[in-house]
Amino acid sequence: VSWELHCTSLGDVIITVTPDGTDVASGRLLSELGNITPDSIIVCQRYIIELWGPEYDPVNNPDGWNLMSLMVEPEDPAIEVVLESIEENVVSVWYYDAQTETWLSSTPDGGAWVGDLPTMEDGKGFWIQMTQNDLLAVSGTEVVPPEPGPNLPPSYQLYAGWNLVGFSSLTPMPADYYFFAPYYNEVLKCIWLFGSGPWGQYILCEIEMLDLEPGKGYWVWVAVDHEVVVPWNN
């Protein structure tokens, strides 16, 4: 008997068990990986992000675009490693560099990647165009531990204007808490998100109502250059 485990972006675990023969059984649990024994502590090391092709929402998203991010720090940020599990269904990947106000992109080409976007890192948002639905399996480590410790939390630089950002957490978090600053209401003006259906805009008075979700990317507009210090997951 052999088995594989994968974390979903919601913290569930997909366990695929292959018994002797050809039958395959699967089940879902609540965390992941390691030697499974009755008294084991399971720690998640692989994470699944759901991406959608044109068939998911042919009316509002006929071209299969996804605005996503990596909720963990990948073991290897090389784009060919990060997207290895879904490469055959990827059309292209795009990232907007707010500092230089330029777009960077890469496309798969027979096992290689062509373009000026060589890596995918946490803290950034990415547009990925898919030909069909697929599950992206990412191996990595949690960006911020559940509790404060001796190490400083990571920070990401935002530049005045629009920024294509990621969400570096395994659990949903209010937008105003994640982007917190003593004067955040003078800095963070609006957030755009993309999903099934039309675009949704969240302006200042609604930011407190928005929960950021693992695996999703966001357009964030700030009035001035601003450093986001990722808060503890408490």
Same domain? For 149 and 40 the reply is no
- Strand-strand pairing, 2-8 and 46-51: parallel
Same domain? For 120 and 66 the reply is yes
Whole-number pLDDT of residue 179: 79
Contacts of 137 (CB under 8 A, 6+ apart): 6, 46, 47, 48, 85
- Provide the number of structural domains found in the chain: 2
Same domain? For 60 and 92 the reply is yes
Picking from 49, 44, 21, the residue whose alpha carbon sits closest to that of residue 34 is 44
pLDDT in tens, 62-119: 889 999 999 999 989 999 999 999 999 999 999 999 999 999 999 999 889 999 999 9
- At 210, the pLDDT band (50, 70, 90 cuts) reads confident
For 28, what's the count of Cα atoms within 13 Å in the CB-facing half-sphere? 6
Same domain? For 164 and 112 the reply is yes
The dihedral over CA atoms of 58, 60, 64, 68, expressed in degrees to the nearest 10, equals -140
Report how far apart, in Å, the C-alpha atoms of 61 and of each of 165, 166, 194 are: 21, 21, 10
Whole-number pLDDT of residue 74: 92
pLDDT in tens, 26-59: 333 333 334 444 343 444 467 889 999 988 878 7
Same domain? For 162 and 181 the reply is yes
Give me 173's structure tokens.
Answer: 């978090």
pLDDT in tens, 108-153: 998 899 999 999 999 999 999 999 999 999 988 888 655 666 667 7
Q: How many residues are recorded in the chain?
A: 234
Report how far apart, in Å, the C-alpha atoms of 12 and of each of 46, 88, 122, 127, 216 are: 11, 25, 21, 25, 17
Q: Is residue 134 part of a domain?
A: no
pLDDT in tens, 11-29: 445 555 555 554 433 333 3
Give the type of residue at 12. Answer: D
Whole-number pLDDT of residue 145: 58
123 vs 230, residue with greater confidence? 123
Same domain? For 227 and 164 the reply is yes
Whole-number pLDDT of residue 35: 42
For 149, what's the count of Cα atoms within 13 Å in the CB-facing half-sphere? 9
Same domain? For 91 and 24 the reply is no
Q: Is residue 123 part of a domain?
A: yes
Picking from 157, 170, 165, 171, the residue whose alpha carbon sits closest to that of residue 191 is 165
pLDDT > 50? residue 234: yes
Same domain? For 113 and 188 the reply is yes
Same domain? For 168 and 224 the reply is yes
pLDDT in tens, 155-194: 899 999 999 999 998 889 888 888 765 555 667 767 777 7
Alpha carbon distance 163, 221 (integer Å):
6
Give the type of residue at 112. Answer: A
Full residue range of the structural domain in which residue 28 is found: 1-44
Whole-number pLDDT of residue 80: 96
Whole-number pLDDT of residue 204: 47
Alpha carbon distance 92, 90 (integer Å):
6
